[in-house]
Amino acid sequence: MAQTVAQRPTFSPWTDPDAVPLIRFEAVSKRFGDFVAVDQVDLSIHAGEFFSLLGASGCGKTTLLRMLAGFETPTSGRIFIDGTDVSAIPPYERPVNMMFQSYALFPHMTVEQNVAFGLKQDGVPKPRIREKVRDVLDLVQMSRFGGRKPHQLSGGQRQRVALARCLAKEPKVLLLDEPLAALDRQLRERTQLELVGIQERVGITFVMVTHDQGEAMTMSSRIAVMNSGCLEQVGTPVEIYEYPGTRFVADFIGAANMFEGVVASDNHDLLVVTCPELERDLSISHSGSVPVGAPVTVMVRPEKMVVQRESPSETMNGVKGVVADIAYLGDVSIYHIALPSGRRVEVLRTNLRHTGEQELTWEDEVHLAWHPANAMVLTR
Amino acid sequence: MTALDRAVRRWGRLLVGLPPYAWLVVFFLVPFLIVIKISLSQAIMGIPPYTPLLEWGEDAVLTIRIALGSFGTLFGDELYAFAYLNSLRLAAIATFCCLLLGYPAAYAIARSSHSVRNLLLLLVALPFWTSFLIRVYAWIGILKTEGLLNGLLLWLGVIDTPLQILETDLAVLIGMVYSYLPFMVLPLFATLEKMDMSLLEAAADLGCRPFQAFISVTLPLSMPGIVAGSLLVFIPAVGEFVIPDLLGGPDTLMIGKILWAEFFDNRDWPVASAVAVAMLVLLVVPVMIFQRLQGQATEGTR
């Protein structure tokens, strides 16, 4: 078992300096009147990636996607697909296909006609169209519904047809605009993995827009986190979560406890930060080079802390507090610990015991502890 | 909810829907039945100028006398068939012209910004603020030999001698297209306006050029509007009387004019009624069948 894992080739063309990206944004900006939707974005996406643009609504992620599809033209900057500058190429001549958030299935056509539509535009011979339509409908498990009209399908089925319609054209890039937003939670989680499976099978580069960080983390090879038109950070799900580059990313992806402070000293691999909110200094590894005296933010994820009655060992960071609130979620509970300064800290604990009774309860005096390697120092 | 409440609610709903139906029964269905009755009688000199359908004879015998002579006249004299076909022809051409003019207009209004849209719609409906009759009369002033149109064309040097437009089928067509254009634009606008624009983006994304996208997406999806607009223009145009009477010449044979002539000039009420009944049957039945088929074909396009 361990061997198979070790033998699996790691897919990370973005780490190879010689690799030529399939899609390249070069200083792309888009303004609507006074509003800057996309601001000087530089971005490279490699062939075979499942790339996600993640951000809150209005952050410019959809505009970026629509520029790739050709529905919007950049105000400045250039976009390359497979080495060609596509800025002046209309959508109907681009080697990309988009799956719309509303699915945009043609209501007057059957499922088969919808899927065949793009192929017919390309003048593909009829027998070949029939074959291709059957293949992609098989791929998305919709072969039985070929004769139905979209209004006779459920939301999940429509989503599959929309995907099949894009896949039929075998584009170089498939763009997905919030592909799962209209599905209910259970179906969405199942479809996430299915979509990744299909992407791996067909080998087409997927670029997805989503506001759902869980979706982005589950499905993507890399994620670009966007905030008010700018790229905050581009990285693998692990990089984005464990090593957020900015306070915004740390806060947007998952939950984070952040303590403002000032760098007190830097001895080799341990950075010591003084936080006015805390009684004692914090030590953090992974420090990079931060000058002494610089204002920084120390970020600790809730699941990287331990909450316990005993005081922690000297090598650990520790703070005292009182259990103020417990959010019981079944598998885990989130403990809200009130520090003496009044500051609240979130800690995640797996509910290991079967009974509802946990060892910690409201008003208990506890210690929070975490290893210096489990915290991050953010300067931006 | 108690049973009483439910009953009140059900009857209340019926009661609200009833007045328009009662109105149509009293002022359309009953008169139409009378027209059918008259069409089955014979013309006589007298008041009323037709034979009764039911008669109490001696010994209290109820006599029903149905005369099919009027319908026989319709089939016997080719004037009626000709007038009927000419009405269909003119109405069809007028409908087609309305569609040709109205579709781009409706499309432009549907794609215009919200602030301009209401103004444009108001302009389409603006002619209704003046009497229909007056507007048709105004066309006489425009189309007659020494009218505005001929004056303009002569002044521009396009023609040397005035054109005879008034009292021709062309004048009738112009009048009908003018009068019925709003009835084409408004239903077309209604369907085009609610069309999902992302469908056109999807078509473009799948490799469709704009014109092809119009043909394969916009046009089929606006079919309900095209059908509704065409029926709203075609049906009244077939039976139109005022426009051919005022703008057409003595040669303009339309079924509405025939009906008028039978009724008021010949005082042959049974034949006039038969013309009316035949027109309704020949027009409404095909239209109903057509609409039913159309309804099935466009099912699910919302």
Would you say residue B123 has pLDDT above 80?
yes
Give the CATH superfamily of A20-248: P-loop containing nucleotide triphosphate hydrolases (3.40.50.300)
Q: Do B206 and A169 touch (CB under 8 A)?
A: yes
Would you say residue A7 has pLDDT above 50?
no
Distance from the Cα of B247 to chain A's closest Cα (Å) equals 42
Query: Given this model, what pLDDT does residue A286 score?
Result: 66
Q: Which residues of B touch A70 (CB under 8 A)?
A: 204-205
Residues A338/A344, Cβ–Cβ less than 8 Å: yes
Least confident of A148-152, B63-67, B161-165: B63-67
* Nearest-Cα residue of chain A relative to residue B201: A71
- CB-based contacts of A180, cutoff 8 Å, min separation 6: A159, A188, A191, A192, A195, A210, A212, A215
Would you say residue A125 has pLDDT above 90?
yes
Q: Do B212 and A102 touch (CB under 8 A)?
A: no
* Nearest-Cα residue of chain A relative to residue B212: A121
Q: Which residues of A touch B214 (CB under 8 A)?
A: none
- Positive or negative, the CA dihedral B145, B146, B152, B153 is positive
Q: What are the tens digits of pLDDT across the range A188-204?
A: 888 888 899 899 888 89
0.95 surpassed by complex ipTM: no
Q: Which residues of B touch A176 (CB under 8 A)?
A: none
Q: Which residues of A touch B223 (CB under 8 A)?
A: 108
Q: Which residues of A touch B199 (CB under 8 A)?
A: 104, 106
How far apart, in whole angstroms, are the C-alpha atoms of residue B8 and residue B202?
Answer: 50
Domain ranges for chain A, please list them.
Answer: 20-248, 255-378
- CB-based contacts of B289, cutoff 8 Å, min separation 6: none
How far apart, in whole angstroms, are the C-alpha atoms of residue B40 and residue B61?
Answer: 20
| Percent of chain A whose predicted confidence (pLDDT) is above 70 | 96
Q: Mind spelling out the 3-state secondary structure of chain B? A: CCHHHHHHHHHHHHHHHHHHHHHHHHHHHHHHHHHHHHHCCCECCCCCCECCCEEECHHHCEEECCCCHHHHHHHHCHHHHHHHHHHHHHHHHHHHHHHHHHHHHHHHHHHCCHHHHHHHHHHHHHHHHCCHHHHHHHHHHHHCCCCHHHHHHHHHCCCCCCCCCCCCHHHHHHHHHHHHHHHHHHHHHHHHHCCCHHHHHHHHHCCCCHHHHHHHHHHHHCHHHHHHHHHHHHHHHHCCCHHHHHHCCCCCCCHHHHHHHHHHHCCCHHHHHHHHHHHHHHHHHHHHHHHHHHHHHCCCCC
**A100 at B interface, C-beta within 8 A:** yes
Query: Angle B256-B258-B261 (CA atoms, 0-180°, nearest 5)?
Result: 110
Domain ranges for chain B, please list them.
Answer: 77-267
What residue has token string 């509003």? A35
Q: Do B199 and A106 touch (CB under 8 A)?
A: yes
> Average per-residue pLDDT in chain B?
88
- Positive or negative, the CA dihedral B222, B226, B229, B232 is negative
Distance from the Cα of A72 to chain B's closest Cα (Å) equals 11
Query: Given this model, what pLDDT does residue A5 score?
Result: 43
Name the CATH topology of A255-378: OB fold (Dihydrolipoamide Acetyltransferase, E2P) (2.40.50)
Q: Which residues of A touch B205 (CB under 8 A)?
A: 69-70, 91-92, 96-98
Tell me which residues of chain B have a C-beta less than 8 Å from any C-beta of chain A. 196, 198-199, 201-209, 212, 216-217, 220-221, 223, 298-302
Give the CATH superfamily of B77-267: MetI-like (1.10.3720.10)
Q: Give the residue from A106, A136, A174 with the most B CB atoms within 10 Å of its CB, the best one to mutate.
A: A106
Interval B167-179 mean pLDDT? 93
Q: Do A108 and B221 touch (CB under 8 A)?
A: yes
Q: What are the tens digits of pLDDT across the range A30-81?
A: 999 899 999 999 999 999 999 999 998 889 899 999 999 999 999 999 999 9
Q: Do A165 and B205 touch (CB under 8 A)?
A: no
Interval A127-155 mean pLDDT? 92
Q: Give the residue from A114, A121, A122 with the most B CB atoms within 10 Å of its CB, the best one to mutate.
A: A121
Q: Do A117 and B301 touch (CB under 8 A)?
A: no
How does residue B247 score in pLDDT terms, banded at 50, 70 and 90? very high
CB within 8 Å of chain B, chain A residues 26-85: 69-71
Q: Do A108 and B205 touch (CB under 8 A)?
A: no
